[in-house]
Amino acid sequence: MSLLEVKKGKLNLKNPILTASGTFGYGDEFEPFFDVSLLGGITIKGTTLNPKDGNPPPRIYEVYGGMLNSIGLANIGINQVIEKYSKYFLSLINSGCAVIININGEKIEDFLKIIEISDSTGCFNFYEINVSCPNVKKGGIAFSQDPKTMGKLINKIRKKTKTPIIVKLSPNVQSISPYVKSAEDSGADIISLINTMKGISIDINSKKPRFKNIYAGFSGPAIKPIALYHIYEARRSTCLPIIGMGGINNFNDMLEFFAVGADAIEVGTMNLVNPTITYELLIELEKYCENNKKPLSKIKEELTQWMKQ
């Protein structure tokens, strides 16, 4: 068994380092910088049934400790994703790098159709159901308005496919526990969190919000403490595997996520700033395990000891 292997429930990865949807394109954008297949997995851009133009500019604005984005799920649609990238995804899978598709829809049928198409290709290891995008008017976070609505969606998807389902949760809720429980009861295999937080920036010269949608998704190092809190809450609510993300910027950040119960982590916005960050984290983690002469599973056990006391 490799030092870095992750094996918990349906979450089987060669290492715990993944990339967050929307920050890693389709993976091949990063090939000029490092061998992407070394990662535990990649999560591709949020995908819809039909191509989606996304929101009008501006879509990005830097704020202290991170950035706001209002991309609005711009993507080429599931059929073009398969057409353009299936060969690349299969090559990643053959190298042991999991490929996760982040699935979005305005209505339940959209999700089911994407899953039907995806199932027929075999080029995805996991389906990440996005019920937490804050930047679209229909779908997205609307499925997180209450745990019951979300559970209904997950339940229908569960009946449709045997591929492991990840549910990506929003931090824009009062308490995450009911959502975690609903996802689990409805047949989800894995929980991932957090998506971006809602945020606003005002241009004081024009006296107007910078984004046409008024609010946008806040991400980056500043949101890490909030992510850690929600993952801690989720960990106390479920035994399902958890993929944690939100503001990971360095090695110690990653260990903090393991310390609140994440089984694997995703790097998000930092990929845009430092395209080799996931590779650097992987090398550091490998060295850390070797120097400590312990597999990652043992290190995680020690890091989460405080939660059991």
Partner 1 sequence: MLKKDISDYDVFITKNDKINENYYLLGISRPSGFDIMAGQFVNIKIEPNSIQPFLRRPFSVFYLDKYEIGILYQIKGEGTKLLSTKKNGTKLKMIGPLGTSFPLEDSFMKNIDGVFLIAGGIGIAPLFFYANRIKAKYEYLDINLIYGIRDGGFLLPEDYIKYYFSSIFFSLERKKVYEENIYSGCNCKFFEGNIFSALNSFEFDSLIKKYNNPIFAVCGPDPMLKAFIEWNKDKYFESYLSLESFMGCGFHACLGCAVPKSSGGYIYLCEEGPVVYYKDINLQ
CB-based contact 83:1 (threshold 8 Å): no
Binding mask 39-78 for partner 1 (x = CB under 8 A): ------x-------xxxxxxxxxxxxxxx-x-x--x----
Question: At closest approach, how far in Å is the CB of 76 from partner 1?
Answer: 10
By CB under 8 A, how many residues form the interface with partner 1? 37
- Using the rule CB under 8 A, give the single segment among 21-29, 91-99, 110-118, 235-243 that binds partner 1: 21-29
Residues 23-42 that bind partner 1 (CB under 8 A): 23-25, 29-33
Nearer to partner 1, 103 or 277 (CB): 277
Neighbouring residues of 279: CB distance < 8 A, sequence distance ≥ 6: 33, 34, 35, 38, 39
85 makes contact with partner 1 (CB under 8 A):
no
DSSP-based three-state secondary structure for 208: strand
How many residues in the chain?
A: 309
CB-based contact 261:193 (threshold 8 Å): no
Binding mask 230-259 for partner 1 (x = CB under 8 A): -------------------x----------
Catalytic status, residue 97 = no
Sort residue 191 into left (φ over 0), alpha (ψ -120 to 50) or beta. beta
**String of b and e for 111-125 (b: at least 16 CB within 10 Å)?**
bbebbebbeeeebbb
Is the CA virtual torsion 121, 126, 127, 132 positive or negative?
A: negative
Question: At closest approach, how far in Å is the CB of 236 from partner 1?
Answer: 29
Distance CA 20, CA 269 (A): 8
Name the DSSP class of 296.
H
- Using the rule CB under 8 A, give the single segment among 18-26, 135-143, 182-190, 191-199 that binds partner 1: 18-26
Nearer to partner 1, 66 or 147 (CB): 66
Interaction site with partner 1 (CB under 8 A): 22-25, 29-33, 45, 53-67, 69, 71, 74, 220-221, 249, 271-276
Residues with catalytic roles: 133
